[in-house]
Structure 1
Amino acid sequence: MAGTALVTAGWYECRVSLSVQSALASLPMPREWTWRVVVRPRRRTLGIEIQEDGDVLFAVPPDADPRAVAEAVRSRLPRLADEVERRRRGGGEPVKELVGGASFAYLGRRHRLKVVPDEPGRRVRLHQGWLELPDSGSPPQGARLIAEWYAARGTRWVATRTAPLAERTGVTPGEVTVRDLGERWGACRPDGSIALHWALMQLPPDLVDLVLVHELTHLKVSAHGAAFRHRMRRVLGDLETLERRFAEAEADLWRGAV
């Protein structure tokens, strides 16, 4: 069989897990996939998580209907296959499906997506632990709204973060904003303004600080030589550790692909 179910606490949850596993086993999933089913008491809808190594986790609520879960997975198989292949290759841009239960990180903490009715004045927001997205009916439009939320909220957060780091770096920056920078994570201009990519706001604060200090340091030193790293290390004593963690995390940063 292609996958195995994760048996969770409780006889009933175990039965649900096995029932869903049996329903999924009837789908035309590639034989090389490794997948498992887990019952999560607080879930209300199906969640699909693709691990870094390409393994697939199907998270279901305790009252899951196995046939309904199987049909939902069947409809997503083409997109799912693309993402599993990307993860196994270790490259490509992460893709998200904007459905209820999808996982989105903000400053290192993960939040589940809740698609809510689109009403006048309603915007993307964090509410009671959920990231709420007004249902526009268009995945690209939904992705744009979430990116704008990251940018707006990130700009406010970075504003409070910049002053102490700038003081320790020995510079006085101009405006600091969070926006879409394409393939770049950070940028600085001769007038002292700095920009960070909105996707960075998915990272823990200390990794955002790493990119921010990098750009602040460029206001003093343009090249990436010994003097540049010496200045960065004066602000971030664990520079090498932060750089290693960032290198491990950046491939998984979502940049709006749906």
Structure 2
Amino acid sequence: MNTSVQQAIAALPVPREWLWEVVVRPRRRTLGIEVAPDGGVLFAVPADADPVAVADAVRSRLPRLALEVRRRQRRPDEPVKELVGGTSFAYLGRRHRLKLVPRGEGRRVRLHRGWLELPRPETVSQGALWIAEWYTACGRRWLSARIPSLASRVGVPLGPVEVCDLGRHWGARAQDASIKVHWALMQLPSALVDLVLVHELCHARAAGHGAAFRREVRLVLPDADERERWFADEEPNLWRGAIREVPFSGHHGH
């Protein structure tokens, strides 16, 4: 633990109620700040970090950091859906009502005439899984077509793109240039999915989330600030698969 860095941060006007810690990551060259889903703050520093420089960097980011901590601490409960006819599901920003249809050979979850059709599953858990798999498959196709042009604009090589459940994370980039994206993002308008993709692609050019990284993002998306505010409003409403365990009725939608 870099105690001098910790003391330097503690001397700043950091709100008393914040839960924060400093960790030393030898591979880092600059300060990294991570905000956990519950609002906890992690300051990741290089082994040879200068306490004064770190304190100056944290001080300059405190206003934006305070907004993010407050937003996460106020985060509403994760959305829960009932798999009954008429329940709303979004795909790329457009809302579609659920329609339960009879099971049959070759039947699958699909968008059809404005409805999201779900072959009647045996359990609600199975139905939620089928819908998540549908988002995953649609996302894989859509992103594979979308991301090459964004990677070209960022100016970085592109590895494989995987769509999966990332828990509390929306995107991740690995050392091999592969990118993972949470399937739930496919509920968002394309402009916000692009924001997440550009965010991950720009990590190939700048580590952390400091000024250099933000500059890279804004070179590709000049309206990134506006998109980030929009994303902050939309993100708490994203359905991640939570369902209310109610027995199926005869309601099929219409």
TM range (shorter): 0.5 to 0.7
**d(CA) in 2 for partners of 1:217 and 1:155?**
20
Alignment of 1:87-126 (within 5 A): 91-126=76-111
**Pairwise CA distance, 1:90:** 5.7
Q: Is 1:165 matched up with 2:168?
A: no
SS of the aligned residue for 1:105 comes to: strand
**d(CA) in 1 for partners of 2:207 and 2:161?**
18
Give the conservation status (yes or no) of the 8 Å contact 2:150–2:198. yes
Aligned match for 2:195, one of 197, 210, 214: 210
User: In the alignment, which residue of structure 1 is the partner of 2:161?
Assistant: 176
User: In the alignment, which residue of structure 2 is the partner of 1:235?
Assistant: 220
**d(CA) in 1 for partners of 2:78 and 2:151?**
32
User: In the alignment, which residue of structure 2 is the partner of 1:147?
Assistant: 132
Note the alpha carbon deviations across 1:58-86, whole angstroms, 9 max, x for none: xxxxxxxxxxxxxxxxxxxxxxxxxxxxx
**Identity, % of aligned positions:** 62
Alignment of 1:119-134 (within 5 A): 119-134=104-119
TM-score (norm 1): 0.64
Aligned length: 170
**d(CA) in 2 for partners of 1:130 and 1:226?**
44
**d(CA) in 2 for partners of 1:147 and 1:199?**
8
Gaps of 5+ in 1: 1-88
Show structure 1 runs of 4+ deviating over 2 A. Answer: none
**d(CA) in 2 for partners of 1:220 and 1:179?**
24
Report the CA distance shift for 1:90/1:225 in structure 2 as closer, same or farther (over 3 A). closer
Aligned match for 1:136, one of 121, 125, 133: 121
**Pairwise CA distance, 1:91:** 1.0
**d(CA) in 1 for partners of 2:106 and 2:178?**
31
**d(CA) in 1 for partners of 2:207 and 2:100?**
44
SS of the aligned residue for 2:172 comes to: strand
Give the conservation status (yes or no) of the 8 Å contact 2:166–2:181. yes
Alignment of 1:40-119 (within 5 A): 91-119=76-104
RMSD (CA atoms): 1.1
TM-score (norm 2): 0.65
**d(CA) in 2 for partners of 1:180 and 1:120?**
28
Note the alpha carbon deviations across 1:145-182, whole angstroms, 9 max, x for none: 00000011011101111111111101011001221111
**Pairwise CA distance, 1:120:** 2.1
Aligned match for 1:224, one of 209, 214, 227: 209
**d(CA) in 1 for partners of 2:105 and 2:131?**
17
Note the alpha carbon deviations across 1:181-224, whole angstroms, 9 max, x for none: 11110011101100110100000000000000001111222211
The code of the aligned residue for 1:96 comes to K
**d(CA) in 2 for partners of 1:256 and 1:230?**
35
User: In the alignment, which residue of structure 2 is the partner of 1:57?
Assistant: none
Greater RCO, 1 or 2 (C-alpha within 8 Å, sep 6+): 2
**d(CA) in 1 for partners of 2:204 and 2:194?**
15
